[in-house]
Amino acid sequence: MSEAESNTVRELPYVMAINEGIREVLREQKNAFIAGEDVAIAGSVYGYCAGLLDEFGEERVIDTPISEKGIMGLGVGASATGCRPIIDLMFMDFVGECMDEIANQMAKMRFMFGGKATLPVTVLTMGGAGGSLAAQHSQSLEAWLAHLPGMKVVMPSDSYDAKGMIISATRDNNPVFVVLNKASLAMSMEVPEGSYEVPLGEACVRRQGKDLTIVAFGRMVHEAMASVDRLKEIGIDAEVIDARSVQPFDTETVVNSIRKTHRALVIHEAVKFGGIGGEIAAQIQEEAFDYLDAPVMRVAAPFSPVPFSPALEQIYIPNADSILTKVKETLAM
């Protein structure tokens, strides 16, 4: 992790950290712009583009029609021809509207052209459940994206990472999806002023422990951290790894941890079947089978669309309770 250019640190909610990240990028990269639905005069539906239009003007903060294919095509075409676009995809669920531009064009163009194309495009999008936004505005579809060779996918869980990863993503010469999450928007923590990077592809150990490695990303990092004290009550000292980047995935940090704890639990908000947890579990077994004292377990959403009713949504999203239950199962307690 590179040092922040400024030492001034203040508490900043996730939503404002995103804003600062974009702002730093637009200040330092003259070929960067942000385009998306409601980003300019409305300042984004989440508020994280507030003030950008005033500072950078119409040419660099661009309201688009509700046309995800067009918006993503704009990102592909503009990045391939020398710009460094930030494309804002309002909800992650909308990848279905533009999956061709993402999967067949953006991710593959460099490879198909024999390395002649470079696409420094960053896509900001918002994933996750928790607001009763129901089945089409709450999904966690990172596995769809991480399955695409050529694509990078990161999921910052907190303010510091959100700002740093947006900056890193825009400096990267590949298409990068920065998957933000709604549940973190109001969470505050200390964030430095100025520009700094959080490297893409490096996991972060959020808490040291010796009995069990919990691998989480995005919002689930907070649920994992919330479970730590309750695990302690039943005598388990858990290590929590924030994977942060889904593609590329930092297998090494995870495996190193498991060599120490001998047990692993993977948590994600996406449905379990076909989720990234399966990939992580497989990698652990390939790389660290001899160190395991128990099967790798997963906590994830049940195989159902995200429900609307708060009563159902609450039990749908993995939380400290479901983590505790699964840990007990893992350790045969």
Partner 1 sequence: MVAKKKTENSNGPSQKILQELHRKMVRIRKFEESAGKMMEDGKIPGALHLYVGQEAVASGVMQHLSNEDWITSTHRGHGHLVAKGGEFKPMFAELFGRSTGYCRGKGGSMHISNMDLGMLGANGIVGGGPPIAMGAAFSNKFKKNKNVSVAFFGDGASNEGSVHEAANMAALYQLPCVFVCENNGYGEYTPQARHQAIVDVADRAAGYGMPGVVCDGMDVMAVYEAAGEAIERARNGEGPTLLECKTYRYYDHVGVRGMGLNYRSDEEVEEWKNKDAIEAFEKRLLQLGVMTKKKIEKVHSSVNQDIEEAIAFANDSPYPLPEELLDNVYNEEA
Mapped onto helix, strand or coil, the DSSP state of residue 179 is strand
Cα–Cα distance for residue pair 193/8, rounded to 1 Å: 6
Catalytic residue among 137, 142, 197, 239: 137
- Closer Cβ to partner 1, 47 or 150, answer by number: 150
Catalytic residue among 37, 68, 101, 142: 68
- Closer Cβ to partner 1, 7 or 81, answer by number: 81
CB of 19 closer than 8 Å to CB of 49:
yes
Verify whether residue 268 is a known catalytic residue: no
For residue 295, the one-letter residue type is P
CB of 18 closer than 8 Å to CB of 124:
yes
- Closer Cβ to partner 1, 64 or 188, answer by number: 64
Tell me the residue length of the chain. 333
Q: Least CB distance from residue 33 to partner 1, whole Å?
A: 7
Q: Least CB distance from residue 58 to partner 1, whole Å?
A: 10
Phi-psi label, residue 207: left if phi above 0, alpha if psi -120 to 50, beta otherwise: beta
Verify whether residue 137 is a known catalytic residue: yes
Q: Least CB distance from residue 198 to partner 1, whole Å?
A: 15
Cα–Cα distance for residue pair 14/174, rounded to 1 Å: 24
CB of 39 closer than 8 Å to CB of 85:
no
Q: Least CB distance from residue 40 to partner 1, whole Å?
A: 13
**Beta-strand relationship, 212-216 and 245-247:** unpaired
- Closer Cβ to partner 1, 117 or 226, answer by number: 117
C-alpha neighbours within 13 Å on the C-beta side of residue 261: 29
- Closer Cβ to partner 1, 172 or 211, answer by number: 172
For the CA atoms of 266, 272, 276, 277, the dihedral, rounded to the nearest 10 degrees, stands at: 20
- Closer Cβ to partner 1, 77 or 278, answer by number: 77
Place of tokens 């004290």: 229
Q: Give, as one character, the DSSP assignment of residue 105.
A: I
From the CB of residue 141, how many other CB atoms can be counted at a distance below 10 Å?
21
Q: Hey, what are 44's tokens?
A: 């984004």
Q: Least CB distance from residue 100 to partner 1, whole Å?
A: 6
Q: Least CB distance from residue 81 to partner 1, whole Å?
A: 4
Biggest alpha carbon–alpha carbon distance for the chain: 60
Cα–Cα distance for residue pair 241/202, rounded to 1 Å: 11
Mapped onto helix, strand or coil, the DSSP state of residue 52 is helix
Contact footprint for partner 1 (CB under 8 A): 31, 33, 59, 62, 64-65, 67-70, 72-83, 85, 100-101, 104-105, 109-119, 149-150, 152, 173-174
Q: Catalogue the active-site residues.
A: 68, 137
